[in-house]
Chains A and B, each alone.
Chain A
Amino acid sequence: MEIRLLPWLRQSLAVLRKDLRIEFRTRYAYSALIMFAITTLVTVSFSVGGFVLDADITAALLWIILFFSAMAGLARTFVHEEETGTVTALKMAAQPEPVLIGKYLFNLTLLFSLAVLIVPLFLVMLNQTVLLPGALIAVILLGCLGLAGASTILAAIVAKAGAKSSLMTVLAFPVLLPLLFAAISATRVAFAGGLPQAIAADLLMLFFYDGIVVVASLLLFEYVWNE
């Protein structure tokens, strides 16, 4: 594997720009993400009613919503290439790594824009106070980085496996569990407050998880992409 970072970066950005352009015109993935998140959020909020839930529970709910929204929307980018047959043209033109990085950046953009919208809405609708807002932002950022990372390579696998709809969730859940555990535990601290040490370990874990997922994806993607 030859590594030439600058051309890679430029080609990745080309993939990102192409995907954003298509997404802007069709809104396939984003509408799936948003609709899923809003629907679950409204359902949860409605059934909770006026109760104020424990921070333990709201933290878990937040990540469950983010996780399943990601599953609903983030596979789209690879599946769409496979379904329309553009994957052959892309393979003939691009190296594998820029494709992966471009798609990763695309999924990251989707997830961040979802989080910016859904997290404040979540806090308002569930009457959740945030004692450590800085920590919450850090957790969401690191969590989304890992969530998008694992989803991107798994989406590539699912697209090759015939895009069976439930497959994405089945594959992603165990791989993402370490991330979810750490993110939920850190979010709880960010909601309810606590010692900095309590959240530092989880943030560190998220940080390492993100790094490992991206590196592992880069090493493995070639085997998924090429036959």
Chain B
Amino acid sequence: MATHAGELTQEAVRVEGLHRSFNKTGGVLNGLDLEIAPGEFVALIGRSGSGKSTLLRALAGLDRGVDGWGRISVPDKVSMVFQDSRLLPWRRVLDNVVLGLGGRDAKDRGRKALAEVGLAGRERAWAHQLSGGEAQRAALARSLVRDPQLLLADEPFGALDALTRLNMHTLLRELCERHRPSVLLVTHDVDEAIVLADRVIVLDGGVIQSDVRIDLGSRRDPADPRFAALRRQLLNALGVDLDADGLVRDPDPDDLASDRPDRSRGVDRKAAS
């Protein structure tokens, strides 16, 4: 989307007063404002139902037919990575990466992108022959080959095992430092947000509840006391209260109930008797 004449903005992404709702009863996004600078890596966290995915889909232009208003300005080249890799099963990996790309050098660029995510030599593999981590790396290559100015990622590592996820963090950091797109990453993992992002935004009730800058430099060690402090701050913002040992004080019965319906019923019965 073009910027307005005479008003050259510095931001890659600018969202003003964004409202979105799926039914009449209440909004999912209630007048959200957000700016992301070029090359800035922003992580978005929040409880389920806080509007993370709705915001991301609005920025990706995937929310046609959803009620709402507000202004969104995003760069021309936006690319999205989903929680599932969404590789077409009937196309080989390289063809998936260059899907819909024109030009004679498309395949070469695709090969280069695959090499960059460490998948050189797997160009002719079918999507289902890749492991979960490899498939997600191919999906990253598919986004990067399009030189996005804005990369949207919807819990891209949510379905990966812990070890693979750590490797993917390193890879994503490297790729972003090389290509410098603006990034908006939705995650439910506070540590992941701190490790990766320049800024972490906590969404609650459809507005930004807090906006925390991460000034830890490039080496981010979870054992660092500053890391722990940020972690505590963000968890607090999410409504989780930690005691001095880093354990959750007064676990919210609603949260436990939503995790374990069978146990919560037992608790209810005890409370009633």
Asked if A and B are interacting partners, one says: no
